[in-house]
A and B are shown apart, each in its own frame.
Chain A
């Protein structure tokens, strides 16, 4: 046996060891996620068993009358996430194109640095600043109500999801085939042509995934909507109305009695959030797979 082969054997053992370690870590992570799902199902069961599932999704929240519906919160969550995406997506797309293709080098570094910094700011800081700056402004602009509304929370939530989306998009644009870019340069194409004909089509799956990720973050965020959306349990009749999102609802109801139906109902909320996020991740996987197969 040559020394070289011997060392390869030892290396092989090590590789096997690390492989096992990482595999078990991955399996444990996966099992934990499943365990949370089971936990939510088991604890939410009393409410689901009574055949309340449909009424849960359609009725209003009125514990005094025995109604524990989460329809208003579900609607508010989806509206708010869509609204913040509508504000955040164009900004993210523009910003990431500026960073990858349009801006001079120095500005690019500055921009990406700022985006990374933004990604690290806790949501409570954004919400707190908005409470004092944006809320009075919205009250005056809307002309009725308290200034706490879906319209107030949406721009702040957009601010929250923009960094995630920009970082995701930039990574996607950088992976676009270099040869195509060089070919376009050789043909004398403009920068705008580069964006329209190469970057955008080439990064399409990444754009979709990043947007879904942003939507998921917007759906799941608690602090912004808790502090800025007003938390009323009525079905919002307009975007200028106060409304409560699912995560905020969980935060507000969590402290009630353990044995109460109110408390049980928030497991149903958790389950719903879990399913929505899970579905989004599934959607992300589907379009993400096709380009890999092509190449």
Chain B
């Protein structure tokens, strides 16, 4: 009796929230239902491409049930895989598929809940908006060092890349640079967010980010004539794409299970779409 009353109250709360946030359909109440009565904290860390979706999901879950605390941190895919494997965190995020050794060593369970692309970006004032693969590889290897060589202004190119842990870097290096070298003069930033902010502030910079992070503050660069956007990743014409994974050590249980399930629910997948990524369901 008491429980059903709480349920009704929570349902009402959800509807109010749904009313307050017009983007949230009433479906959300059903998808959030598994969190009723759950308690405790959930630690999530790793890939930074995942963070916008994770934050939104966490916000909704925590406003649905204030007894749940969800902490989200970055650190890169490598860190997500390792910390999840060692049990330091409950869910690890990775923007690349863990290697078979990693999966076997840590007994990782993989959940791929979105598809993402990695696109090249430049400052929005930069006239260069299209590059061939060869030009891109030349720029990142340091062979092409001036923007005028690719049709821009006469100014040195500032290359930005990511740290060793980055899944975005691994995917970009493999699929866009064809495993070519990245110049040791490249500047290194530590997250997708930092990459966007830095390139948005540097008129002569070039970098690469998750398509989910792209907005008007930076300009996307077409690769071999294909614009890095959702439509082109979806229809397969833009090749530099990857899955976004969440990992747990062994089968997830309790809160972690509910969280992973929520990512795959209609509401979770809607969040994925709202944040500029491609849902898997």
Q: What residues make up the interface of A, taking CB atoms closer than 8 Å to B?
A: 60-64, 72, 132, 135-136, 139, 144-148, 226, 230-234, 241-242, 244, 252-258, 262
Contact = CB atoms under 8 A, between A and B. Distances in A.
Interface residues on B, range: 20 to 34
Contacts of A255: 75-76, 78-79, 82, 163-165
A257 B158 contact: no
A256 B184 contact: no
26 contacts: A63-B164, A64-B181, A135-B201, A139-B202, A144-B155, A144-B156, A145-B156, A146-B160, A146-B187, A146-B204, A147-B202, A231-B163, A231-B188, A232-B186, A232-B187, A232-B188, A233-B188, A244-B188, A252-B163, A254-B79, A255-B78, A255-B165, A257-B82, A257-B102, A258-B82, A262-B164
Contact of B188 (A64, A252, A257): A252
B190 interface: yes
A145 B164 contact: no
Nearest to B186: A232
Complex A-B, nearest 6 residue pairs according to Cβ-Cβ distance, in ascending order: A255-B165, A231-B188, A255-B79, A146-B158, A234-B184, A230-B187
A244 B188 CA distance: 9
A176 B35 CA distance: 67
Contact of A257 (B78, B156, B185, B190): B78
B188 A146 contact: no
A233 B185 CA distance: 6
B75 A232 contact: no
A279 B241 CA distance: 50
A107 to B, nearest CB: 38
A226 B184 contact: no
Given A60-B184, A132-B201, A146-B204, 14 more contacts: A61-B184, A62-B184, A136-B201, A144-B156, A145-B158, A147-B202, A231-B189, A232-B185, A233-B184, A233-B188, A254-B79, A256-B78, A256-B165, A257-B78
Contacts of B189: 231
Nearest to A60: B184
B3 to A, nearest CB: 44
B228 interface: no
B78 A252 contact: no
A139 B189 CA distance: 17
